[in-house]
């Protein structure tokens, strides 16, 4: 099945190029040192309101992981969705979550700013690299703090702090960042933004399809990518992109989650 992989990667590359070309530059290299810029990213990432939001999302993830929801979702996907076709698509989507692939690509794109600060690929690379730098330590810590295990290891999704390191999917995080950066570019058309947002979740989905992560683990990896990209792109500007609030319906209660981008 090598040919489908080549065609898919070529198509994604061409679409990626169309995103970059149509996007007007949104950021320029600052006169501040790289160190100061990254420090500012960290300050934005660890703002109080963002930490409270993360606590809310991880609480929801914990509910999914520590109840029957995770194994039920996993069983449903494996029996109803997984197929030879989904495996083929997943094999390609997983590549975008490989740090050994995406980090060199990001560094190469960032280096393009050495010739011109107005290079769109360079700006994308800079934002993507900074997002990886600001979010990766938190992802690594939460992988151990949650202590979740992989479904293919024959263990439940329950959190067992510091007993394992798969509670947050690293592939989901790495694969989501580049496309979420694209989705933040204001000059993209609504359709392109939606396509980029959709693509940001493919690596996360591939982990569920491959029985490598439970749904909650893939979701939390994607969420950490969103927060990292949001911190870098706003860099001190508070944006209320996620709202979580309770609501009632009939004789029950629920949680309403709304997002904007």
Instruction: Give the least confident one: 20-24, 139-143, 204-208.
Output: 20-24
In this predicted structure, what is the pLDDT of residue 237?
42
Residues 39-45, mean pLDDT to the nearest whole number: 92
Cα R_g (the chain), whole angstroms: 19
- Are the C-beta atoms of 175 and 97 separated by less than 8 Å? yes
Q: For 163-252, where are the alpha helices, taking DSSP H only?
A: 170-183, 190-200, 202-209, 215-234
Domain ranges of the chain: 2-22+33-259
Nearest to 168 by CA among 198, 126, 201, 138: 138
Instruction: Write the pLDDT tens digit of every residue in 107-146.
Output: 988 888 766 667 778 888 889 999 999 999 999 999 999 9
Residues sharing a CB contact under 8 Å with residue 192, sequence separation 6 or more, in sequence order: 18, 19, 22, 182
CA atoms within 13 A on the CB side of 14: 6
- Are the C-beta atoms of 90 and 218 separated by less than 8 Å? no
Instruction: Write the pLDDT tens digit of every residue in 53-102.
Output: 999 999 999 999 999 999 999 999 999 999 999 999 999 999 999 999 99
């Amino acid at each position: 099945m090598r040919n489908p992989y080549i065609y898919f990667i070529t198509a994604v590359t061409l679409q990626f190029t169309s995103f970059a070309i149509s996007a007007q530059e949104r950021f320029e290299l600052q006169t501040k040192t790289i160190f100061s810029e990254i420090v500012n990213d960290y300050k934005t990432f660890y703002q109080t309101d963002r930490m409270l939001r993360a606590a809310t999302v991880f609480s929801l993830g914990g509910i999914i992981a520590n109840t029957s929801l995770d194994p039920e979702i996993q069983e449903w996907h494996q029996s109803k969705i997984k197929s030879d076709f989904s495996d083929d698509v997943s094999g390609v989507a997983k590549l975008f979550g490989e740090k050994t692939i995406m980090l060199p690509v990001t560094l190469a794109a960032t280096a393009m700013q050495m010739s011109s600060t107005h290079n769109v690929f360079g700006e994308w690379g800079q934002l993507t690299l900074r997002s990886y730098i600001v979010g990766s330590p938190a992802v690594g810590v939460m992988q151990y703090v949650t202590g979740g295990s992989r479904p293919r290891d024959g263990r439940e999704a329950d959190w067992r702090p510091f007993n394992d390191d798969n509670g947050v999917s690293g592939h989901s995080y790495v694969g989501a960042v580049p496309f979420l950066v694209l989705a933040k570019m204001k000059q993209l058309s609504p359709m392109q933004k939606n396509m980029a947002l959709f693509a940001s979740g493919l690596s996360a989905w591939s982990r569920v399809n491959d029985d490598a992560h439970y749904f909650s683990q893939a979701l939390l990896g994607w969420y950490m990518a969103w927060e990292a990209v949001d911190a870098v792109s706003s860099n001190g500007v508070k944006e209320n992109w996620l709202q979580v609030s309770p609501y009632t319906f009939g004789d029950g209660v629920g949680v309403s989650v709304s997002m904007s981008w």
